[in-house]
Amino acid sequence: MNRFFLGILFFLFSVSATIGQEATPLSLKMCMDYAINHNVSIKNSKIDVLIQQAQNNQTLSAAYPHVNGKVEVDDFLNPTAQFVDGKFFGFPGTVQKFAFSLNYASAASVSASQLIFDGSVFVAVKARNTIMELARQNGAVSEENIRYNIYKAYNALVIAYRQFGIVKSSLTYARSLEHDVIVTHQTGFAEKIDEERTSVQVNNLASDSIRIANLLTVSEQMLKYQIGMDINATIILTDTVLEQRKEDAFSLLNMDKNYDRVPEYNLLKTALKLNEFNLERYKLSAIPTVAAFGAMGYNYGSNKFGDVFKFNDYAFNSTIGLQITVPIFNGFMRANQITEAKLNIEKTNNNIDFLKQSLDFQSAVSKTNLKNSIIQVQSQRRNMDLANDVLDLAQKKYKAGVGSNLEVTQAQTDLLRAQNNYFSALLDIINAEADLKKALGLLKN
């Protein structure tokens, strides 16, 4: 018993030391809002949106003019020779070689090109807003999953605190009863078995207190981990009125489904649009691409290296043109790309239908679980009230000398069991409520 008592004292000392720190009050909404700015998954999803924006700008750059400049100086150490029939120079039957290039040459030029039409670029420009929407919806899915986990973790922690408070109160009363039984036994009005039976209950309650206290620490750290808060920070939960869950749950039972509220559904719908853009891109790849180009510059050549830097004799040159590239045959690649794109569209449509079925199923199951949990809470609440009345009566009989401590011990055990069943039913309501809100796309509210 001393070991358990020391364990409780150690825990209470730790709690009192923590209370000395400045505590942060946290409601359920505050936890979710905090996670939006501090949870690593959500922060990375926001970065992914910025990365996608940069990638879109890279794609869009293909539609803008491209301008390049070039400066070149050449030293022909061994100029390329040209071979001519010797008969033109009076040496029939021979081949004469000549190097027509000078020793040094230089040139400076500016070239520009403008894409006029390319099916792939055209579709990419059209799809860029949809791609951005897909990135944002990926972030919305991550955010919803974080909200779902926080919702369950926060309320489970509230219940754990309530249970811990009840166990501590029961332990305090059990210790008082143990003291009375010890005194009564010493005066000869109680048996040794009564004292030992009371001590067993005290030990069990002390053990439960330590176990729940440790679980509280882990559960609280889990909540802070999920919202991105330092696990050593001190927090105070403010949304602790769990009994209101029953009233809130009734409104959910009558809520109509709307797939457009569900982030996963919107994500698939956007993915379908992108697959359709992909199909359009492959179809347009059969159309010729058109691009305009132009270049201008100056060039010069000399046998003396120093003359290269005398710019008076440089000759100006320029050219413009229009390039049309006509795809003729690419080994049936385009046909297979179109087939793949059509199959991806069909697959995405199948996934959308399956998601609808899954959401309908999850909604139906969650509503059933929620109804059952509400009934259980009502039933366990009555049992808890009855068990409390029985304990009160047993305590009065014991104090009046017409009852035994066995009745009190048994009544207290029954009350603890009823309280645990009640809080377990409340936790079932919370879990079913979270599941239903997720299926209905209401977690962001």
The C-alpha atoms of residue 342 and residue 335 are separated, in whole angstroms, by 11
**pLDDT tens digits, 174-191:** 787 777 667 666 676 566
Q: Chunked in runs of 10, what are the mean pLDDT values of the chain (445 residues)? A: 43 46 86 92 94 92 93 88 79 80 90 92 91 94 94 91 85 75 66 72 82 87 92 90 72 87 96 95 93 94 86 91 92 93 97 96 94 90 91 82 77 87 90 92 80
Task: Return the pLDDT at 72.
Answer: 93
Task: Return the pLDDT at 17.
Answer: 44
315-325 sheet: strands from edge to edge: 66-75, 104-117, 289-302, 315-325
Residue 381 exposed, middle or buried by CB count within 10 Å (0-12, 13-18, 19+): middle
Domains of the chain, start order: 2-9+37-64+118-288+326-440 (1.20.1600.10)
**pLDDT tens digits, 352-409:** 999 999 999 999 999 999 999 989 988 999 999 999 899 889 888 877 777 777 788 8
Task: Return the pLDDT at 188.
Answer: 65
Task: Return the pLDDT at 6.
Answer: 40
Task: Return the pLDDT at 354.
Answer: 97
Closest CA to 213 of 170, 172, 165: 165
Phi-psi region of 327 (alpha: psi -120 to 50; beta: other; left: phi over 0): beta
Closest CA to 124 of 135, 113, 132: 132
pTM score, whole prediction? 0.80
In contact, 297 and 109? CB cutoff 8 Å: yes
Those residues whose C-beta lies under 8 Å from the C-beta of residue 366, and which sit 6 or more positions away, are: 432, 433, 435, 436, 439
The C-alpha atoms of residue 4 and residue 16 are separated, in whole angstroms, by 18
Task: Return the pLDDT at 183.
Answer: 67
Task: Return the pLDDT at 288.
Answer: 94
Return the H-helix or E-strand segment holding 113: strand 104-117
Task: Return the pLDDT at 195.
Answer: 66
Task: Return the pLDDT at 292.
Answer: 95
Beta bridge partners of 325: 289
Task: Return the pLDDT at 269.
Answer: 97
Task: Return the pLDDT at 190.
Answer: 62
